[in-house]
Structure 1
């Protein structure tokens, strides 16, 4: 009998509804090429600081290879609570308000699954991280894009949110400092958004993974620290970016005990617990890693100024990013779409970056460049981009 199973029809409608990550396409191509400079993947080029790695090695030598509590090691949860009290003056309870997850990606996924019923709408300012739309769909929700404008440095306003809210809106998902734009929101900006969330009785999921990466004297404002926002906010954060711990896959969620308990139920059945080795390393990062983190942030700031100056001098419109490690220049003046620009730049000049369309429809006409790579590589990439603009404009 012929094997004629139609697997495409048998797949979940939710899975069929989402596209593969737009970030990976060009890096699969780049992996097959020589002499490629990548300004693409959002990963620090620093190795995890030695004291953090050493804590993991020591833990393994001591036989720390077992499961931990589902919610995470008590000492890690306590250090997370201590951090938010010390830095933002927000009081969380280690035993009830914290869940340690396998990266922020898991935290986002299970937060969505914990609060969304089929058909619930989620307001998502765009451009945004590629997982936001997909996780909403996989949880049965309906993503509603709210375009942010380059004229306002990609900050979102209550007026823009009001245009998209309906009686089905349940969640507002925000991510600042922003990937891919490098935008931040000031306290005044966020207070206005908080008033909007309270007016419409929305759950706010705030992805603050880049909260430690701000520049130019700007300080990150923790959304749950705003008046009346702690109880309605699910705050997501982790160690990948600020501590150069992407491969450790360690993150966390903070929130109301009821929603954290619901998220823990999902976590119990899907992940059980985050790896103990990563949790041990995270404890060390919070206790003694700040000095390393500050050195990395200072270096990112140097790179930020270099890439901003370089792109603006060659005539690409972009605002100066104030957070994360991305810049989001407009390439509309070249006559290419985002995908065309990224593909032609890669094939002719061997520079890999991400088309803005990967981050939502309103990202079209832009490209994302990551400056989480060495100064000399950024300088060479800028030279190649300038050469491309001279020779390949439509």
Structure 2
């Protein structure tokens, strides 16, 4: 995201009236996404939208029914434990212990209204004004702006790219200094699908032990791994006392984007602080939403497998069709996530390319510049869609671009 991508946030403008009295970090914030393209899409009609990080699957009935039952039982009151409802906390401990192959104590998880809130808790816990967070890009744009929001300096370090995305640990560590409070990464990555290896994660944890710098790992796509039941995770390697946190969400692998529920895995030693922060930020997550999440995590293994299969089939189809378009550069197939991330030779401006595809093929894609300077020429396509609709979109692109 320069260190700052164009329009992700803008330099301070002279402020008058109420705006003059708000924090500079808030004055700087701008919502920069696909709004311009979306407005045009509405006027065109018939556009297949593949730009959002969201599948087209409605949350399955067994999750919805659990939330409805909680409502019918009168579960509409505060949850006294700010870190989560007992049934969900227990389910999270059992689930994480099972999938990561080692005990993860109940005290190591805090429920939040969405993965974004869990991320903000992690940043608020660690980042001061005048400090920085080093993060791996291409990266979900919310990360850059969340770091800025809490008063930190976002400091991106790009993945290398030849035929695939690769992490240079020496370059990452060299970007850290005495003011670095955390290193942030997403694995599997949105948008690239790059996935950290166990050796890379161990190197990050070892670096944290030497320096005291926190490691914050966004593992929202961890169960959408194509190389195993779960992608390598910091939770498989870190000890309870390590300065390591993992951000997770029910949005992607359980088809619950609109529910706004996620969790933060953290050392036991900061559980009390996170409970206090939760109390003063939002006073916890709705009980009936947590009931749905508990059903998802205790009964949802089949659902995860189904979603993973749909995403993998969509990715295979995308690579087959996109490979027929002259000049399309496809990295090696992602090892996880739910996106195809590609570029076209001779097209350095991803926004212009997305606009052209929208006009000629009636397909909506996300321009790569949103994900950082190193992704400026790439575009992102969500492949968690009905295969027939995805094939129609890809056929349109082949016809328009081929």
TM tier relative to shorter chain: over 0.9
Corresponding residue of 1:78: 90
Change over 3 Å in CA distance of 1:130–1:93 after alignment to 2:
same
Change over 3 Å in CA distance of 1:228–1:269 after alignment to 2:
closer
Contact 1:23 1:358 in 2 (8 A): no
CA distance in 2, matches of 1:350, 1:295: 28
CA distance in 1, matches of 2:279, 2:42: 36
Q: For 1:244, which of 237, 255, 265 is the aligned residue?
A: 255
Corresponding residue of 2:338: 325
Q: Deviations over 1:297-355 (max 9, x none)?
A: 11111111110122123241122111110111022x14350111112221332211111
Which SS does the other structure have where 2:235 is aligned?
helix
CA distance in 1, matches of 2:248, 2:164: 23
Change over 3 Å in CA distance of 1:112–1:91 after alignment to 2:
same
CA distance in 2, matches of 1:336, 1:117: 36
Normalised by the size of structure 2, how large is the TM-score? Answer: 0.90
1:142-181 alignment, distance < 5 Å: 142-151=153-162, 153-181=164-192
CA distance in 1, matches of 2:254, 2:135: 27
Q: Name structure 1 gaps, 5 residues minimum.
A: none
Change over 3 Å in CA distance of 1:157–1:224 after alignment to 2:
farther
Change over 3 Å in CA distance of 1:184–1:99 after alignment to 2:
same
Q: Is 1:373 aligned to residue 385 of structure 2?
A: yes
Normalised by the size of structure 1, how large is the TM-score? Answer: 0.92
Deviation of 1:54 after TM superposition, in Å, equals 1.0
Q: Name structure 2 gaps, 5 residues minimum.
A: 1-14
Which SS does the other structure have where 2:329 is aligned?
coil
CA distance in 2, matches of 1:230, 1:89: 18
Q: For 2:75, which of 64, 69, 72 is the aligned residue?
A: 64
Contact 1:128 1:175 in 2 (8 A): yes
Change over 3 Å in CA distance of 1:230–1:29 after alignment to 2:
farther
CA distance in 2, matches of 1:18, 1:361: 18
Corresponding residue of 2:354: 342
Contact 2:339 2:381 in 1 (8 A): yes
Change over 3 Å in CA distance of 1:219–1:150 after alignment to 2:
farther
Which SS does the other structure have where 1:166 is aligned?
coil
Deviation of 1:24 after TM superposition, in Å, equals 4.4
Corresponding residue of 1:115: 126
Which SS does the other structure have where 1:313 is aligned?
coil
Q: Is 1:206 aligned to residue 212 of structure 2?
A: no
Worse-superposed segment, 61-70 or 213-222: 213-222
Q: Deviations over 1:161-190 (max 9, x none)?
A: 033121211100111110011111222232
CA distance in 2, matches of 1:44, 1:337: 26
Q: Deviations over 1:45-98 (max 9, x none)?
A: 11111111111111222111111131110110111011111111333332x322
Change over 3 Å in CA distance of 1:359–1:25 after alignment to 2:
farther
CA distance in 1, matches of 2:373, 2:250: 29
- Structure 1 consecutive aligned stretches of length 4 or more whose deviation exceeds 6 Å: none
Corresponding residue of 2:398: 386
Contact 2:51 2:380 in 1 (8 A): yes
Deviation of 1:220 after TM superposition, in Å, equals 0.7
